[in-house]
Amino acid sequence: MKKLRVEVGKGYDIFIQKGILNDCGRYIKTVSQAKKVCVVSDTNVYPIYQNSVKKSLQENGFEVVSYVFKAGEASKTIATVMEMVECMAQNDFTREDLVVALGGGVCGDMAGFAAAIYLRGIEFVQIPTSLLAQVDSSVGGKTAVDLPQGKNLCGAFHQPCLVLIDPNTLQTLTPKYFSDGMAEAIKMGCIKSKRLFEKIEQQNANEIIEEIIFECVSLKAEVVQQDEKERGERALLNFGHTAGHAIEKLHGFTNISHGEAVGIGMVLIAKAGEKNGITEKGTANRIANVLQKYHLKTEDTHSLTEIITAMNADKKRTANAIRLILLHEIGDSLIQPIHKEEILNFFKEED
C-alpha cells in the first residue's frame, strides 16, 4: 500500500492499493461519524462495483442511499447536481452525513459539488475508478459542472476527506479511457517532472501504472498544498486545458474526450511557445509523439480562429488577458498572461 497526506484544510489521506475498494467502508469509518452515505455513481460504473461498495459500507454501520446518473460529460450539469442534492434532502441527510463519489472525473466533480452546496457543505470521499480521476481530478478539491458557455464554469473548491485509489478498477476500462487518463499523466510530466515524462515516453505505462499514479498524485499534492485556490502555482496544472476546454466546447462535449482535447491543447501551446521563443525547439513534436504512443489525438478539425474564439470564455481569463501555461522545456513550466488581442498572433503559425 502507498499512502500520501495532503495538508490542505483539515488535511486528508490518499491510499493507493489494489482491492481497497472492497474494504472502503472500514477506511471511511476512520474519518467519518456519518450514519448515512450517498453513493454517487454513473450507469457504467455502478453496476460493476455497487455490490462490493454497498456491502463494505453496510458492514461498517452505514445506511446507504444511491444516486446513479447517465454516464458521460453531457450529464455534467446543474440539473444533475440539483437531483443529487434533492436525493440527499429526501433521505434526511444531515451535516454529519457523507457523499461517496464512485466513478471517474465527471462523477467526482459533480458529487463533490453536490457535497459542497448541500447544507452549505458536507464531507465527501473520492473513490476514483478511471485513470484520469486517479492521476488527477480526485485530488485537490476542484468540483464543478459545465455551462452552455463553457466547461467547469460553475463550481467550488471543496476538499475530500479521503481518497481511495484502487488500480484494479483500471482493468474494466476500455483502451480509450485508459488513453484518456494518460493525457493527464503526460501533462504532469510536462509541467513538473522530466523524469516522469521520460518514463511514460520510454516504457509501457500499463506495466508501471501504480508507479505513475503515485508520482502524479504526489506531484499534484505538493502543488495543491502550496496553492489550494489556484492563485499562483496551481494554475500550472492547466497546461493544455485552456485550448482543450475550448475544443471540448466546440464539440458540444461529445465526440471527443477530455484527455484527447487536452492532448491537442498541449501540442498547440507547445508549438506557440516554440514560435515565440519561450519553449525549447522540438518540444511540441516530442509531446505529440508520446500522445500518439498512447493513441491520443494531436490536432483538431476546428480552425485555430474557432479554438481561440472559444478560449475567450475560459474561466482562467482576466478582464483583458488569458493566463496561458507554457513550457521552457519538458518538466519546467511557467504562467504567461497574453492580452486577448494578441492571442491569435501568439498561436498563428508563421507563413
Tell me how far apart the alpha carbons of residues 298 and 173 are, in angstroms, rounded to a whole number.
Answer: 22
- Asked if pLDDT for residue 351 goes beyond 70, the answer is no
Portion of the chain with pLDDT greater than 90, in percent: 89
pLDDT at 321: 86
pLDDT at 253: 87
Mean per-residue pLDDT, 4-26: 96
pLDDT at 320: 81
Higher pLDDT, 195 or 151: 195
pLDDT at 150: 86
Q: What's the mean pLDDT when you consider all of the chain?
A: 95
Delineate the domains of the chain, giving CATH numbers in brackets: 2-172 (3.40.50.1970), 176-347 (1.20.1090.10)
pLDDT at 315: 58
Portion of the chain with pLDDT greater than 70, in percent: 97
Instruction: Give CA angle at 160 (16, 115), nearest 5°.
Output: 140
pLDDT at 313: 67
pLDDT at 30: 97
Mean per-residue pLDDT, 324-337: 97
SS (H, E, C) the chain: CEEEEECCCCCEEEEECCCHHHHHHHHHHCCCCCCEEEEEEECCCHHHHHHHHHHHHHHCCCEEEEEEECCCHHHCCHHHHHHHHHHHHHCCCCCCCEEEEEECHHHHHHHHHHHHHHHHCCEEEEEECCHHHHHHHCCCCEEEEEECCEEEEEEEECCCCEEEECHHHHHHCCHHHHHHHHHHHHHHHHHHCHHHHHHHHHCCHHHHHHHHHHHHHHHHHHHHHHCCCCCCHHHHHHCCHHHHHHHHHHCCCCCCCHHHHHHHHHHHHHHHHHHCCCCCCCHHHHHHHHHHHCCCCCCCCCCHHHHHHHHCCCCCECCCEEEEEEEEECCEEEEEEEEHHHHHHHHCCCC
Tell me how far apart the alpha carbons of residues 50 and 309 are, in angstroms, rounded to a whole number.
Answer: 42
Mean per-residue pLDDT, 252-280: 95
- Asked if pLDDT for residue 96 goes beyond 80, the answer is yes
Mean per-residue pLDDT, 263-275: 97
Confidence at 208, pLDDT banded by 50, 70, 90: very high
- Asked if pLDDT for residue 100 goes beyond 70, the answer is yes
pLDDT at 55: 98
The string of pLDDT tens digits covering residues 104-114 is: 999 999 999 99
pLDDT at 340: 83
Nearby residues of 46 by Cβ (< 8 Å), 6 or more positions away: 39, 66, 68, 102, 103
pLDDT at 76: 97
C-alpha pair distances (Å), 18 with each of 36, 55, 66, 167, 326: 26, 18, 24, 5, 36
Q: Is the dihedral of CA 92, 98, 100, 106 positive or negative?
A: positive
Mean per-residue pLDDT, 304-309: 92
The string of pLDDT tens digits covering residues 135-171 is: 999 999 999 999 998 889 999 999 999 999 999 999 9
Confidence at 272, pLDDT banded by 50, 70, 90: very high
Q: Which residues are catalytic?
A: 120, 142, 184, 220, 230, 234, 238, 241, 245, 258
pLDDT at 319: 67
The string of pLDDT tens digits covering residues 211-257 is: 999 999 999 999 999 999 988 899 999 999 999 999 999 999 888 99
